[in-house]
Chains A and B, each alone.
Chain A
Amino acid sequence: MSSSSVLSLGSVLAGPAEQAAVTTLVTEPEAPVSGAPVYAPEANGLLLNLLLLSPKEPKEPKEPEGE
């Protein structure tokens, strides 16, 4: 295909779907996948429950009285 045959497309205007495809590519949105940490309010309750339900800290065993 030569350059002149390419220019013969001039009479073929892009249809609505083709125009929309170009607009979509130009107005590309932000990337949907983000690795950034985000605020998660439900995490507050989860952390609080884990804190309350966690076992007590271990203590040193008592030494026998006989010694």
Chain B
Amino acid sequence: MPLSEASPTADYAAAVEALALRLLDALNRSAVSGTVADHVRDAADAKAALAAVRVLGPDVFAPALLCSTAPGEGDLEVVDEALVVFPWVPGQQSEAACLAQATAALLARHGGRTTGMTSCGAEDAVHGFVAEGLPWRPWSQRMARLSPLALPGVHPAVTTVACERSLDLARGMTRALLRRDYPTAARLARWVALAHSHSAAVDVNVSGVVRHLSLCGAVGARMTLDLAIIRHVIARSAAVGEDMP
């Protein structure tokens, strides 16, 4: 098979890890501006770098959201470019479409240009996808894939659904832990931590789960980023006077 026809999945996965590492560094240093733009500028394959932006979706705004600073102008342009190069099908109900729509909404919220796309109605579409009455196992898997939405203030309606089904999130997280599927456990722990920060009744020791995952399962940059985001959510929650379990 010629190289041009080979699946770029492995290259894109490596780019995702590289971008996650940059976001993790930005989160730790509270240095937000230029993170995403530098990622694309320094990449050998700019399209793979844009694909990483598209895969991580709202997580590219995580340092800005958690450090309460604004992303750089170049960052916003790169996010817009990623949405143009990897567009979503309007009306399609899927995790990829939800992440794209949420990313477009965040881009518009931060004053970025949304070329040829509109985020109108996007929040309703994402909410409808999440609020489907699935049993807890497939629903928690869906929520694990949508974990980039588990950031403070990204999507209040989806966060409300997560709070209402916090027990299902805890079930899914526990199941992933028992299966030693640590990436899925970390992604669901993000939702559990976010739900708890919104005073949802979750009788789960999220801090203990994060510690366990850090010691046993954090082998990739993306998962380490997930755990860092959880710690920020817990710290923010504690700062406003709520004790995490």
- Classify the secondary structure of B's interface with A: helix
State A6–B37 Cα separation when bound (angstroms).
9
Known: A26-B95, A27-B96. A9 touches B81 (CB 8 A): yes
State A14–B141 Cα separation when bound (angstroms).
27
Q: Are B85 and A14 in contact (CB under 8 A)?
A: yes
Ordered by A's residue number, 7 sampled pairs between the chains whose C-beta atoms are within 8 Å are A7-B78, A10-B84, A26-B95, A28-B183, A30-B176, A30-B181, A31-B183
Q: Are A31 and B85 in contact (CB under 8 A)?
A: no
Chain B hits for A22, CB < 8 A: 12, 51, 54-55, 86, 96
Known: A25-B12, A25-B13, A26-B96. A35 touches B81 (CB 8 A): no
Q: Does A36 contact B (CB under 8 A)?
A: yes
- Give how many B residues have a beta carbon under 8 Å from the other chain's beta carbons: 40
Contacting residues of chain B (160-199) with chain A, CB-CB under 8 angstroms:
176, 178-184
Q: Does B99 contact A (CB under 8 A)?
A: yes
State A19–B30 Cα separation when bound (angstroms).
32
Contacting residues of chain A (1-37) with chain B, CB-CB under 8 angstroms:
1-3, 6-7, 9-10, 12-14, 17-28, 30-31, 33-36
Q: Are B181 and A3 in contact (CB under 8 A)?
A: no
Chain A hits for B236, CB < 8 A: none
By beta carbon, the residue of chain A nearest B9 is: A21
Q: Are B40 and A3 in contact (CB under 8 A)?
A: yes
Q: Does B25 contact A (CB under 8 A)?
A: no
Q: Does B16 contact A (CB under 8 A)?
A: yes
Q: Are A34 and B181 in contact (CB under 8 A)?
A: yes
State A13–B176 Cα separation when bound (angstroms).
36
**Given contact pairs A14-B51, A22-B12, A22-B86, a sample of 9 additional A-B residue pairs in the complex whose CB atoms are under 8 Å apart:** A2-B41, A6-B37, A9-B50, A12-B47, A14-B85, A22-B51, A24-B9, A26-B57, A26-B95
